[in-house]
Structure 1
Amino acid sequence: MYRSLVALTFATAVLGQQVGTLTAEKHPSMPMEVCSAAGSCKKENTAVVLDSNWRWTHVTSGYTNCYSGNSWNETACPDGKTCATNCALDGADYAKTYGISSPSSGALKLQFVTKNSDGTNVGSRVYLMASETKYRTFNLLNKEFTLDVDVSKLPCGLNGAVYFSEMDEDGGLSRFPSNKAGAKYGTGYCDSQCPTDIKFINGEANVDGWEAGSGKTGTCCAEMDIWEANLDSAAYTPHPCKVTTQTKCEGVDCGNGDDRYAGLCDKDGCDFNSFRMGVDDFYGTSKTVDTSEPFTVVTQFITDDGTDTGTLSKINRFYVQGGKVIPNSAAAVEGVDAVNHISDGFCKQQKEAFGDNNYFATVGGMATMGKSLEKMVLVLSVWDDTAVSMNWLDSTFPTDADPTKPGVVRGRCDPGAGLPKTVEAAHPDSYVIYSKIRLGAINSTFAA
């Protein structure tokens, strides 16, 4: 909800739009399955690619960085277009530099902090690939998406996130001629927070107004958060937008500060966090869903007429652990019906009960979200939060709000536990493991 990623902290952590040749790019394998019915699943040989914001970029004629610390190389990058021409985006050593590995077939381990010969990498973000040059796109309407997760080594203040963003299949390669790298090098990112820390947007460097790791423009698109979680808290959240493709924003459209409820996207979304919804014994270590052990997460996208072309009406959640199917907890907040799914009705009641702005409805609610679900790209990441220390997920938020007010407390974590300086020092060995990705017809991808 308040995603603000910090990529590599060493000097060579930058990206560009030309293609470098100093490091070979080899996408780690992460096969998935597509299921037409229970017990009838076919394997797809998918892989993952590292987001371009983490990659080393240098001048095309050598090794000189195009970006160091929080500053652009003024010689190579006097403006966005020139920078895109002068700078090359190179391949990645996934395991050694970024802590991204495959512990088994169909599994992906994302290490939180990785020490390497160049310095320290913090967090990562990868996308599922259908081929060497295209992201794997998903139509989620009237489907269910399932994966296994292991958050047993993911403490307070961290977020193992699995979500869908309405990115271009080719990473913007065809829409923006100055982008020569494309999906093969993880370009074209966008989400509902319209992030302004993306160094290249629409094939040009985000140089104008760049200060302290953030530029003048952002990159917006609809986002469906399947899984934002750690050991203590978890949420799933649709974030619709007024736009239906990756869109560059500036000013009010980015929705920053006082413009939060005037921008292109619903940054708050409509979240279902069991703890926030009044059930504090459902998710966590030794709870109903025991986060000390791996489990399966199932998300169903129900349409009003039960077809792939219908209008999104409801998003269901189930878990599978220890041979048991566990339905999502039901809401236990005064003024909210005791449902365990997300719908327009649930969102309206939740926003009223918590005193929140229902920008979700203003932007178009479930129907608008459903349109975006027809063409989504899968994102997997691990990150800490430089903006608000992940308090919106697992602690009290806002931190100065009355904790007895409904919706303020989202988990058991101390508000200070998620400070990046604190969590990076105390828990550098943290990691998350994602595995067994499946897409299929309703009730086809999981069983007790």
Structure 2
Amino acid sequence: MDSWLNDWPWWAQFALVVILLAVSAFFSITETSMMAANRHRIRHLANRGHRGAKHTQELLGKTEALLSVILIGNNLVNTIVPVLLTGIALHAFGNNGSVLSISTGIAAVLIIIFCEITPKVIGATYPERISIVTSWIIRPLIVILKPVTWLINVFVTLLLKLFRVNTAANKNTQMSPEELRSVVLESTHFIPNKHRSILVNLFNLENIQVDDVMTPRSRMEVLDLSRPIEEVIHQLETCYHNKLPVCEEDSDKVIGILAVRKALSLLGDEELTHANFKDLLSEPYFIPSGTPVLQQLQYFQENQERVGLVVDEYGIVQGLVTIEDILEELIGEFTTSIPDLAIKTKWSNEGDYLADGSASLRDLNRTLGLNLSLEGPKTLNGLLLETLEDIPDNDVSVKINDVVMEIIQVDEHTIKTVRIYKPNA
């Protein structure tokens, strides 16, 4: 090869080496950018009519042909460059063993720096941008080198069959829910924080039951029609809710759901009786305990209901859940019709928090950034009673999941007030 190079001036020989190094760098940067490109983003651009993205998507669908062309070109150039540099060095400095070793070492360093590491880093940094540009050059190369790549792929296929390698087994590109969730979490530069939070909450809904979002029975406001009419009217006038479960003497037996707005329209009647309110009652809608929240949201829509009573296997009411409770799990709290006495503020300046015993563990985790288990009891009172296995006295402290809690107030059956200390970061 050095015979025809001898007739070239030194700058032409040097230019040829630079060109070959650039070609090798092109193949390296193309290979990395194509493999690192986000296929979903490329598909999105292609669907919007971007021609370069369409070419890239087409090439990514022909992985074997794409890699064959890139590897053939890259290895061919990387083989020629050391030969050229060695020929140039021997012609310039004479046939010497040291010259041969030094020229080979220089060729290796040049290939590693300019043809491997630097192009691959650049390709991995801007994968979509570069792959879209280089696709215009790679497409015609695939057509030109098709006979060569076909012949090489025949030998490769035979070799893979010889070693019993099944290449079709790993061609499933569908993403699992967890993988899709990870993509959403990592898309900080493309999706606003609020939108990303909603998408993540949507994935989490699959693992949440109505028991996790319901208002517990102890905190439900129930209208008792066995009480004097004056007390019933007063409760309606001071009610924060749009709909109330209604009972009669037996508080565990709900006879219907009352629309408060309709009931308030009757308050001007001087001869108002309990029967007038009973006429406004709608049939209660019962939900089995353990129903998944996502499934219940669909049931609410199908049955055109907004409020449901959660019952256990014995038909005993455990709590009340509304469509707003489910939507708040998805988009965050937005209702302001009732003050939540169990979840009032965040950490105090002293690093503690005074919580009601009936506070939901899910709300505490969300408000205070805790990690209390949601597998068992749903309230702070239930968690403490399960842990202590007894109704404790005041001033008893307990540590659960690295969270120190001090019991402040207890009545005969439940823990009323708890001071929670902020865990060390």
TM tier, shorter chain? under 0.3
Structure with a larger share of its residues in helix: 2
- Give the TM-score normalised by the residue count of structure 1: 0.20
Max radius of gyration: which structure? 2
Higher relative contact order (CA 8 A, sep 6+): 1
- Give the TM-score normalised by the residue count of structure 2: 0.21
